[in-house]
């Protein structure tokens, strides 16, 4: 998730072969497995897509000193605080980031990007109410700000307010956003509604906008699997793993494909790997329990 500077278009501070399976037991229904995963919490929640990837170098003494020098040269310019706040945010120094964004807003109460940046920090601090308030304020100042719709939509979605989230993602898409998260997150809601054709279309669009992000590949794979297309599902999962092999979600989805093919041994291996990556990831634990049982 990227921080935004004053220029709306600039985001200066950011964002295999199919193996033949062994059918030693009858394959479980792909739709039944996917439904169980979605009910358990959805293996494509992809919460990482709206969280800050911490880069400690952004908070290095040299970088902060350089940004502080810019502020000292023009202390009345809110953009200086916004940029330094973004560096603090990316470095994981959230309290300092909040201070800088708040100072930018104090200097320019119409600075809608600073409100959205502060909202992002609040989200990463586990304060969704404060984040939603800031996204609301950003949208009051600029009703066409796609970033704020996407951010607020994610808060709604993770709170189970899917209709409101859907409306926010729709609005961002109507504004011709080039942010793949809008399509990805709308696809997740289509998926929860069982509208897999629409979900696949949205995930495909997200992939075209963000081809190096593994999350929409995982999302599309789950919908492919729900429609019985395990070949394309498996290809997408392997692509996701190739992009980032540290996501428990990807290995869990791989396990689901093996499980639907009746290959319990390979499924258990994938689920076990996912559980090692994230011991608290419930779909992986559930899959491992199913495939290791007698």
**pTM recorded for the entire structure:** 0.83
What's the token pair of residue 105?
């807003």
pLDDT in tens, the chain (294 residues): 566 666 433 322 333 222 222 233 334 455 556 655 554 444 444 444 566 666 667 668 888 889 999 999 999 999 999 999 999 998 889 999 999 999 999 999 999 999 999 999 999 999 999 999 999 999 999 999 999 999 999 999 999 999 999 999 999 999 999 999 999 999 999 999 999 999 999 999 999 999 999 999 999 999 999 999 999 999 999 999 999 999 999 999 999 999 999 999 999 999 999 999 999 999 999 999 999 864
- What structural domains does the chain harbor? 1-15+51-143 (1.25.40.10), 152-210 (1.25.40.10), 211-294 (1.25.40.10)
CA distance 62 to 56: 12
């Amino acid at each position: 998730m990227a921080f935004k500077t004053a220029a709306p278009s600039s985001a200066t501070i950011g964002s295999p072969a199919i193996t033949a399976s062994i059918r030693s037991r009858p394959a479980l229904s792909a739709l039944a497995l996917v439904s169980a995963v979605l009910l358990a919490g959805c293996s494509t929640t992809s919460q990482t897509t709206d969280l800050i990837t911490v880069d400690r170098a952004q908070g290095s003494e040299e970088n902060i000193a350089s940004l502080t020098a810019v502020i000292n040269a023009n202390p009345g310019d809110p953009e200086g605080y916004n940029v330094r706040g973004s560096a603090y945010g990316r470095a994981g120094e959230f309290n300092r980031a909040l201070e800088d964004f708040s100072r930018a807003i104090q200097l320019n109460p119409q600075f809608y990007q600073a409100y959205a940046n502060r909202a992002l920090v609040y989200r990463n601090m586990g304060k969704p109410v404060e984040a939603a308030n800031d996204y609301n304020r950003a949208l009051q100042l600029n009703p066409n700000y796609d970033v704020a719709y996407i951010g607020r939509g994610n808060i709604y979605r993770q709170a189970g307010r899917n209709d409101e989230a859907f409306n926010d993602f729709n609005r961002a898409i109507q504004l011709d956003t080039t942010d793949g998260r809008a399509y990805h997150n709308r696809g997740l809601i289509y998926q929860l509604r069982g509208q897999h054709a629409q979900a696949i279309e949205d995930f495909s669009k997200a992939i075209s906008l963000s081809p190096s992000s593994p999350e929409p590949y995982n999302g599309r794979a789950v919908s492919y699997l729900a429609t019985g297309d395990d070949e394309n599902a498996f290809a997408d999962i392997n692509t996701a793993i190739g992009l980032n092999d540290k996501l428990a979600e990807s290995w869990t989805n791989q396990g689901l494909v093996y499980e639907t093919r009746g290959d319990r041994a390979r499924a258990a291996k994938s689920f076990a790997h996912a559980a090692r990556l994230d011991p608290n990831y419930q779909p992986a634990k559930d899959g491992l329990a199913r495939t290791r049982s007698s």
